[in-house]
């Protein structure tokens, strides 16, 4: 720290975080905010969770979880100790010391960044901010958001960043359902608006996260998150491009990837699928693509990978149509069962799920579509999709009545022996089965 720097707020916050006397406020209690809230509470901090969804706050306050991989007793134990509560009353922002924003950052219909959730949240909490607080933005966004959006807004309310109010950016790295890593064990990247902000940001996180990786600026931290997801998007785009080529050449691409992965250096295995899902990988690369235009540059790799990955649901539908054709049946009027509508296996998360796009395309072509997913007994409300359906049970009778079954998300809970033995035609988008006359890789 600068030896000439002197701020009573800085010293007080450092002491509060070190002694775990600080109150932590987390805005947005979804797949990022809820695990983070529990992690702070389990470390001994008092946490107030904020959300506009009363159903979420009421469930949390009653000790119940609304996310499948988070057990009820994890919440109820913390509620009994008085370490966590949830509210829709944003006036309580005034009583917390550390404020962490975990709100969505989707794309609009033109694949441009939609910062409306961040802006609306900031407008809501601005009247209740006070001196001596630190605010951390965790929502994925383009480089410059913290500096260009949050910093001027906070300063307009009379605060001096780095003196009586502190601002950092620390991207979330949550991986729902991952049993190997959790919020506390995944290293935390962090950048501050000033050097003092960065130091206080480290203090905010280091008591609950095993390792904090500080970078030189909020822009560097924002770029780090985008690079992580662009790396995945581009490499998944590569194998998705190779999938139809390998198919035409009579080569099992999954076999090839598994063989290549035995090389102990210089290769990272990525597997093809029906498209990209989740809140990060299908969306985040386009934040950088949009921002690059401001600098007169075009991110061709990112855009090409996006085109390939976005086209995969249509490829799956075409393979399904071809397989039915071989069996003497048209896609129009055929009964199709889609297995798995979550964006990845073993989670109850449908954000940007390619399975749902597959269902939409099938229905558009006249197929009679149903789904089976134990994590979704009934099809949930979504902004872009509407299906009045309930999950089908995987039974011999149910499977055999469908002209084709599509394995879109390979949950471990599925009875794969039942599936392979009773499906008339099986379209496998995940490489779960060996390709046979009955099993079509897509």
Q: Give residue-wise pLDDT tens across range 345-377.
A: 999 999 889 999 999 999 999 999 999 999 999
CA distances in angstroms from 225 to 232, 262, 402, listed in the order given? 11, 28, 42
Instruction: Provide the 10 A C-beta neighbour count for residue 158.
Output: 10
Taking the C-alpha atoms of residue 172 and residue 377, their distance in angstroms, rounded to an integer, is 29
What's the mean per-residue pLDDT of the chain?
94
Residue of 22, 88, 109 lying closest to 286 (CA atoms): 109
Query: Do strands 404-407 and 426-428 pair parallel, antiparallel, or not at all (unpaired)?
Result: parallel
pLDDT, residue 6, reads 63
Calculate mean pLDDT across residues 263-270.
Answer: 96
Active site residues: 280
Q: Is the pLDDT of residue 384 over 80?
A: no
Q: What is the DSSP string of 354-412?
A: HHHHHHHHHHHTT-EEEEE-TT-SBPPP-SS-----BPPP--HHHHHT-SEEEE-S--T
Question: Is the pLDDT confidence value at 391 over 70?
Answer: yes
Q: How confident is the model at residue 168 (pLDDT cuts 50, 70, 90)?
A: very high
Gap between the Cα atoms of 58 and 275, Å rounded:
35
Token reading at 151? 């910093």
Query: What pTM, to 2 d.p., does this model score?
Result: 0.91
- pLDDT, mean of residues 175-187: 90
Q: Assess whether pLDDT exceeds 90 at residue 107.
A: no
Confidence of residue 285 (pLDDT cuts 50, 70, 90): confident
Structure tokens at 18: 């070190």
For 29-39, write each residue's pLDDT tens digit: 999 999 999 99
Could you give the CA distance from residue 283 to residue 113 in angstroms, rounded to a whole number? 9
- Environment class of residue 165 by beta-carbon count within 10 Å: exposed (0-12), middle (13-18) or buried (19+)? buried
Domains of the chain: 8-216 (3.40.50.720), 252-441 (3.40.50.720)
Confidence check: pLDDT of 1 > 60: no
Structure tokens at 293: 């235009």
Q: For 84-109, what is the mean pLDDT?
A: 95
More confident residue, 173 or 384: 173
Comparing CA positions, the residue from 332, 329, 313, 330 lying closest to residue 409 is: 313
| Residue of 349, 369, 350 lying closest to 358 (CA atoms) | 369
Of 79-88, 219-228, 286-295, the least confident = 286-295
pLDDT at 66 over 90: yes
Q: Going by C-beta distance under 8 Å and a sequence separation of 6 or more, which residues neighbour residue 77?
A: none
The pLDDT score that the predictor gives to residue 2 is 54
Task: Kindly report, residue by residue over 314-353, the tens digit of the pLDDT.
Answer: 999 999 999 999 999 999 999 999 999 999 999 999 988 9
Relative to beta strand 165-169, strand 84-87 is unpaired
Position 133 scores a pLDDT of 98
In this structure, are residues 414 and 394 in contact, taking their beta carbons and an 8 Å threshold? yes
Nearest Cα neighbor of 219 from 164, 295, 110 is: 295
Residue 15's φ and ψ, nearest 5 degrees, are -65, -40
Q: What's the Cα-to-Cα distance from 413 to each of 205, 233, 394, rounded to whole Å?
A: 35, 27, 11
């Amino acid at each position: 720290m600068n030896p000439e720097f002197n701020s009573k707020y800085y010293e007080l916050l450092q002491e509060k975080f070190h002694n775990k006397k600080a109150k932590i406020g987390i805005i947005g209690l979804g797949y990022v905010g809820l695990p983070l809230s529990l992690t702070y509470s389990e470390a001994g901090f008092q946490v107030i969770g904020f959300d506009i969804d009363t159903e979420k706050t009421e469930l949390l306050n009653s000790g119940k979880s609304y996310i499948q991989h988070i057990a009820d007793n994890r919440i109820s134990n913390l509620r009994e100790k008085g370490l966590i509560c949830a509210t829709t009353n944003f006036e309580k922002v005034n009583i917390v010391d550390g404020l962490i924003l975990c709100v969505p950052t989707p794309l609009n219909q033109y694949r441009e960044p939609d910062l409306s959730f961040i802006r609306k949240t900031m407008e809501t909490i601005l009247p209740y901010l006070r001196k001596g607080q630190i605010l951390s933005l965790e929502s994925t966004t383009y480089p410059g958001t913290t500096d260009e959006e949050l910093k001027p807004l906070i300063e307009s309310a009379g605060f001096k960043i780095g003196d009586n109010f502190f601002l950092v950016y620390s991207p979330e790295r949550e991986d729902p359902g991952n049993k190997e890593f959790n919020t506390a064990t995944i290293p935390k990247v962090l950048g501050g608006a000033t050097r003092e902000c960065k130091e206080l940001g480290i203090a905010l996180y280091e008591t609950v996260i095993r390792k904090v990786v500080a970078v030189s600026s909020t822009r560097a931290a924002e770029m780090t998150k985008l690079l992580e997801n662009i790396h995945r998007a581009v490499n998944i785009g590569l194998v998705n491009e190779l999938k139809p080529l390998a198919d035409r050449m009579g080569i099992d691409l999954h076999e090839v990837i598994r063989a290549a992965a035995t090389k102990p250096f210089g290769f990272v295995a990525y597997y093809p699928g029906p498209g990209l899902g989740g809140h990060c990988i299908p969306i985040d690369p386009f934040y950088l693509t949009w921002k690059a235009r401001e600098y007169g540059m075009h991110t061709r790799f990112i855009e090409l990978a996006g085109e390939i990955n976005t086209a995969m649901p249509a490829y799956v539908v075409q393979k399904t149509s071809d397989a039915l054709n071989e069996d003497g049946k048209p896609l129009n009027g055929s009964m199709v069962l889609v297995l798995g509508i979550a964006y990845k296996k073993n989670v109850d998360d449908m954000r940007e799920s390619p399975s749902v796009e597959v269902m939409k395309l099938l229905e558009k072509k006249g197929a009679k579509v149903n789904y089976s997913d134990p994590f979704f007994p009934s099809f949930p409300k979504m902004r872009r999709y509407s299906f009045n359906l309930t999950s089908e049970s995987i039974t011999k009778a149910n499977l055999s009545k469908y002209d084709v079954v599509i394995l879109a998300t390979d949950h471990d809970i599925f009875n794969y022996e039942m599936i392979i033995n009773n499906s008339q035609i099986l379209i496998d988008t995940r490489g779960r089965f060996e390709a046979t006359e009955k099993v079509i890789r897509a």
